[in-house]
Structure 1
Amino acid sequence: MAIASNGPQGHLNGKVGNLVFYMLNGQPVVRLIGRKGKPSRLQLANYQEMAVTTKLLSRMAGFIKLGYGLQARGTVHNAHNLATSYHKKQALKGEYPNISIDYSKVKLSQGQLPETADLKINKLAAGLEITWDPKDGTDLKYNDSVMVMICCPETGKDQEYLNIARREEGKCFIPMHEQLLNQQLEPYISFISADGEKVSDSVYLGNLNGAGKNAAEKQQELKYQQVKTRFDQVEGSYSRQMIANYGERPKNKAFKSLEKEYQALKKQLEHLPGKPG
């Protein structure tokens, strides 16, 4: 049952048939509910697009709040809505069921504040160093804060720095242990005014270490390793029995079964994806 709390001409709140009425950010909204049929390929693609986008943005909530919050002011949207809309439309690649993120098109902030000139990133022994020109000739505030986001697609352990330096410093350093430092890294930098009233577009600093393995490739590697482990066990037993029998194949049933598994595993490994190297 829906309730018209503001009289018969007011917005409903509740359920009427297969319609649900409610308020969202001060705006009346109505949506259809009901049992869904079998999704089409386009619907499945849309589901995957949303899932991939949501997974990306869920790990960088603080950055998104600052990076899109100014745009959301005075609208019915919030920062996450705006970021989701942009990335779902502009930062995806591939076709269903292989939709993924195009990291070169990711925008973690959008605004009118200029970035800065001569942005560079260098991988050092103990971490990443990002440098820029603190005096690039434009009308910038030296006390602007520097925000850095390091996306780590392979582990999901992204590193978010919302106030790592001041523009006037010209550089910042991000410590990293060796294992993370050598994985796929996708770094971004933004500048935000000291009063939080202006933000720049984020700048993609470029991929480090190449593209890492996706979930499917990791699953293939795991499957290969499992089969290889079993093959090594069977091969060892097969070889020992052949040696013990002076190179002649034993005639018993157990050996025939072992030999059959040995040959099947050997053939499987020849064609199984996920082989290291």
Structure 2
Amino acid sequence: MAICSVGPYGHPSGKIGNVVFYMLNGQPVCRMKGKPGKPSIKQLGNRQAMAVTMDLVAPMADFINISFKQEAEGTVKNPHNLAVSYNKKGALTGEYPNIKVDYSKVILSRGELEMVSDLKISKGEDGINLSWNTDISENGSYDDLLMVLVNHPTKKRASSYLNAAKRADGSCFIPVSQEWMMREQMEIYVCLRSSNEKSITDSVYAGNLNGEPDSPMEKAAKIHYNATKARFDRVAADYHKQRMDDWEGALERKAFRHLEKEYHVLRDKLLHLPGKPS
């Protein structure tokens, strides 16, 4: 996009096709767009951070269109922009190439309304139970509406419940219709909005159900550990058998010395190798 600052026939500023227009020392300049060089580690990290953030918020559109609606009004930003900005800055952990989401730090709303306290979750037979303290000490109403988002990261899906209950109810049940949802990782978030939709609470991370699956690196570490352990078990069995037999001075032979060295190397390696079962 290019910008003409002095009328329809003025000097453009920006990019038109493969040509870039700009001012240099007060002089209008244009040049062909150059080929991008090799990206730096910082650039690669920023790209991965954006990709991870987009994967996080994309399934949450129904929820964040309501939860960030009030904050976005009167600005040039939309609810999606706000969700991306908050979570790219505050909800990611790790360094490139291992940037991932810290689900406990995800932000899905910002506001001044009073949040409930003593929020608890548990998994029922075919859904999720939530409970909370209904007391109000500052700005809130018993008619405030509870919004619940259940994120399913392994499936890149999210389920929004925009009117799950009222503050005064103190508890609610979120039905989970599909069987796979009850087995997969679930990250649960809650906020309350006023009945007139003029105010909202900060979102709260209610917790995780079903745990978090291993990352690709963790899976690879476990595979490597198991392969090393299997090799060690075979070597250890052969090593101990030969030590017990000691037929015709076998322990003095070169083959046994190699076997003994491998036994000790593998044993020491397993002590410090990641991927060991907890």
TM-score scaled to structure 2, two decimals? 0.67
- Cα RMSD for the two superposed structures: 3.5
Unaligned runs of 5+ in 2: 23-31, 224-269
Distance 1:208 1:193 in 2: 28
Tell me by how many angstroms 1:33 deviates. 6.0
Distance 1:112 1:11 in 2: 47
Distance 1:80 1:33 in 2: 31
Aligned to 2:119: 119
Letter in 1 for 2:149: M
Does residue 67 in structure 1 map to residue 67 in structure 2?
yes
- When residues 218 and 171 of structure 1 are mapped into structure 2, their CA distance, relative to the original with a 3 A threshold, is same
Distance 1:145 1:192 in 2: 5
Alignment of 1:1-40 (within 5 A): 4=4, 7=7, 15=15, 17-19=19-21, 34-40=34-40
Alignment of 1:1-277 (within 5 A): 4=4, 7=7, 15=15, 17-19=19-21, 34-176=34-176, 177-215=178-216
- Alpha-carbon contact 2:183-2:210 (below 8 Å) kept: yes
Aligned residues: 220
Tell me by how many angstroms 1:70 deviates. 1.7
Paired residue secondary structure (2:117): coil
Distance 2:130 2:48 in 1: 34
- Alpha-carbon contact 1:154-1:214 (below 8 Å) kept: no
Distance 1:84 1:33 in 2: 29
Aligned to 2:267: none
Letter in 1 for 2:103: Y
- Alpha-carbon contact 2:13-2:21 (below 8 Å) kept: no
- Alpha-carbon contact 1:91-1:106 (below 8 Å) kept: yes
Paired residue secondary structure (1:207): strand
Paired residue secondary structure (1:132): strand
Task: Give identity over the alignment, percent.
Answer: 46
Unaligned runs of 5+ in 1: 21-31, 223-270
- Alpha-carbon contact 2:14-2:20 (below 8 Å) kept: no
Tell me by how many angstroms 1:275 deviates. 11
Letter in 1 for 2:214: K
Decide which structure has greater strand share.
Answer: 2
Distance 1:40 1:188 in 2: 35
- Alpha-carbon contact 1:117-1:136 (below 8 Å) kept: no
- Alpha-carbon contact 1:153-1:212 (below 8 Å) kept: no
- Alpha-carbon contact 1:145-1:192 (below 8 Å) kept: yes
Tell me by how many angstroms 1:9 deviates. 9.8
TM-score scaled to structure 1, two decimals? 0.68
- Alpha-carbon contact 2:150-2:160 (below 8 Å) kept: yes
Letter in 2 for 1:117: S
